[in-house]
Structure 1
C-alpha cells in the first residue's frame, strides 16, 4: 500500500524542494449559521429554513484566517519544510507569514458558511486580482522572476478568478524557463475559462511538466471544453475521461481528487489511490489546495505517481478532519492511525 511507503518516507524525513505559489490571496471569515438555537449543518437544512419562510438567521463568527488557493498551498508546503515563495495578493495587516512572500495588491474577502461537507463561500472580489497581469508578478519579484519560474515546482491557482492568467501563461512560456512541475488548480472555471486553460496548459508543457489538479466538477468542465461526450459520474471510473483530457491538452498528467479516491491519468497509464479511512468533517474549504500542494511537491521531489497521490490525500484528509495544516510529524501519526488495512 502506498500509505505504508508514505509513513516510511515521513519517518526518514523529506528532502526540501523549492516551490512557488501564485497569484491569489484572501482574508476568510468562517461562520456557523444558526436558526434560533439550531446550528444548520448542511445546505439542505439551510435551504429548508429559507423555503419555510424564516426571515432571520444568525451568523456566529468562528475564526478569521488567511485564505486563497495560493496561500493555502504555501502554508501546506511550509509546514512540510519546503522552501516557499508566495507571490499573492496580500496587502492586509492580517496576512503575514513565516515564509517568503511578495504582494501584488489587495486580497479578496470571503465569508465561509460552515455547512458540513459542503461549505458555502460568499466572495467579495479584489479589483487588484481581477486586473492582475504578468507585469505585476514581474514587478513584485523585482528581478527574480526567472528564478521564481524555475523553482522545482510552481502551483498556479484560482484560474476562475484571475482573467489575466491566460495571457500571463503565454508570457511565461515565451520566456522558455528551465521549468520543473507546473501544477494548475483552477477552481470553478466556466466553459470559456476551461478552454483557455487547456490551451494555456499546452503552451506551458513546452517548458514544464504540467499537471492539472481538479475535482470531478472541474474535470467535467474540462472534458466539455475538449469536446468530449463522456463525463465523470463516479471518480473511481474517471480514468478514460482524464486520459482524454490529458491527450487533448498534451500535458504530463490530469488528476482528480475526490472524497474517496484520487486518480491520475499519466503517459504510462492510470493510477488510483483510495483515500484514508477517516470520519468526521471540520471543514472542506482549502482541502483541495492542500492536496495539490503536497502532490506537486512530491512529484517535484522525484516520487512516483502513486506515492504522490497518497501524500496529497493524506494532507487533504488531515485538514478536513482536524482543521489544521499538517506538518511531517502530524502527518506520520495521522496516516499511521488511519491507513486502510
Structure 2
C-alpha cells in the first residue's frame, strides 16, 4: 500500500500550507431527501423489506404499464444537497476558508444550509432545487425539481454581490469550483462571460479551476461540446481540472469521437488521457466507485479505492471525492496523492455519512480496510 503511506506522509508535511487558502464554490443548491424504496411492508416505521436494486425497481415500474401502482419511499433524512454545497461542506471540514455563491434561498437561507452559512461567506441567488434521492445497493436515482435554476446568471450574481465584491472574491480564491453544468441552463453563458469579461480584468495568479458536469446525459452533444470548449478558456487564468464519474467520462469520451474502452485500470487511464489531450486541460479525473484515475500533460495515475458494499450513504460521494482531489491539488500533492485524498475523503463519507476533517482523513488513510 505504498500509495497510501506516501500520500499520508505528503499530506502531513503539506497540511500547514492550507492555512489562508480560500475556495470559491457554486452555483447550485438542493434540499435532498434521502429515501429507501419499500418492497414489502411488514409493520410500521422501518419494518419493511427494501427494493434492493435499480433493476428490481425498474421491474416494479414496468409491471404498472397500462395499470397503476403505489410506490413508498421511506425517508431517511433531509440534508444539504447539490454538487456545490456538498463539495463546499467537505472543503470546510478539510479546513479551507470558503465563499459559496448559489441557490440557497430566495428570501433567507434555507435551514439545511444554515450550518454551512455560519462558517462560510454565502451569497444566495434564488430558491434551492429539491431532490428525492432513492438509494439502492447498486446505485441511486436522483428525482429532481430545479426550475429555480433558470434564475442563475452572471447578472444575478452581480446584482446580489456587486461587481467589485465578486471580482475581489474571484481574485482571492485559490480554488474556483463551478459545478453542476448540466442542471443550470445558463452555465455555459456564465462560463463564457467569466472568461471574456471578468477574469481578463483580474490579476494573474496561480489558481485551480475545478469543473464537474453532473451527468450530461440529458444535454445534447452540441451543448456538451460547447461547454467543454468554453471550460478550456479558463486555462488562460489558472489550471483547469475536469472531474468525471465513470458514466460521465464515458459520455464525454464518446462525444469527443473516441471508441469505448474497458473499465479496468488501463482503460480508465486511457479515457482520462484521451479526454485531457483532446481538450488540452491541465487535469482530467475519472472516478468509478471502486477506483480512480487521472491524466495530466506529464503522466497518468490510478489508485484502487476503499470500496464498501454496504455504504451508510452514497448521495454526495462523488462530490466528496472532488473535494479530496482538489485538496490534494491545493497542497501540491502528486497526481497519485490527489487521487488518494479523493478516494479517502469519499470512502470516509460513505461509511460514516460525515465529511472528514483533515485529522479524520489522515486516520482513514492509515487504517482503511
Q: TM-score, normalised by structure 2?
A: 0.85
Distance 1:19 1:289 in 2: 14
Runs of 5+ in structure 1 lacking a partner?
none
Could you give the per-residue CA deviations for residues 276-331 of structure 1, whole angstroms, max 9, x where no partner exists? Answer: 26452122211111111121132122222111111011011111222221112222
Q: 2:37 aligns with which of 8, 33, 49?
A: 33
Report the secondary structure of 2:332's partner residue: coil
Report the secondary structure of 2:306's partner residue: coil
Runs of 5+ in structure 2 lacking a partner?
42-48
- Tell me which moved more, 276-285 or 60-69: 276-285
C-alpha change, 1:205 and 1:63, in structure 2 (3 Å) is: same
Report the secondary structure of 1:159's partner residue: coil
Assess if the C-alpha contact under 8 Å between 1:201 and 1:249 holds in 2: no
1:146 aligns with 2:178: no
Q: 2:314 aligns with which of 277, 284, 300?
A: 284
C-alpha change, 1:183 and 1:253, in structure 2 (3 Å) is: same
Assess if the C-alpha contact under 8 Å between 1:131 and 1:163 holds in 2: no
Could you give the per-residue CA deviations for residues 81-121 of structure 1, whole angstroms, max 9, x where no partner exists? Answer: 10111111000431212222111111101111121231111
Report the secondary structure of 1:105's partner residue: coil
Distance 1:138 1:249 in 2: 30
Q: 2:191 aligns with which of 169, 173, 185?
A: 169
Distance 2:90 2:350 in 1: 13
1:45 aligns with 2:56: yes
Q: 2:354 aligns with which of 324, 332, 336?
A: 324
Distance 2:291 2:79 in 1: 28
Q: TM-score, normalised by structure 1?
A: 0.92
Assess if the C-alpha contact under 8 Å between 1:242 and 1:265 holds in 2: yes
1:256 is matched with 286
Distance 1:317 1:192 in 2: 35
Could you give the per-residue CA deviations for residues 167-221 of structure 1, whole angstroms, max 9, x where no partner exists? Answer: 1111211232435110101101132332122111221111121011001221122
1:205 is matched with 235
Tell me the CA shift for residue 10 of structure 1: 5.0
C-alpha change, 1:74 and 1:206, in structure 2 (3 Å) is: same
C-alpha change, 1:41 and 1:223, in structure 2 (3 Å) is: same
**1:164-313 equivalence runs, <5 A:** 164-174=186-196, 175-176=199-200, 177=202, 178=204, 180-189=207-216, 190=219, 191-228=221-258, 230-236=259-265, 237-276=267-306, 278-313=308-343
2:3 is matched with 2
Distance 1:10 1:251 in 2: 25
Distance 2:52 2:353 in 1: 16
**1:101-140 equivalence runs, <5 A:** 101-127=122-148, 129-140=149-160
2:44 is matched with none
Distance 2:310 2:348 in 1: 11
Assess if the C-alpha contact under 8 Å between 2:28 and 2:128 holds in 1: yes
Tell me the CA shift for residue 52 of structure 1: 4.7
Tell me the CA shift for residue 51 of structure 1: 4.2
Q: 1:68 aligns with which of 76, 79, 82?
A: 82
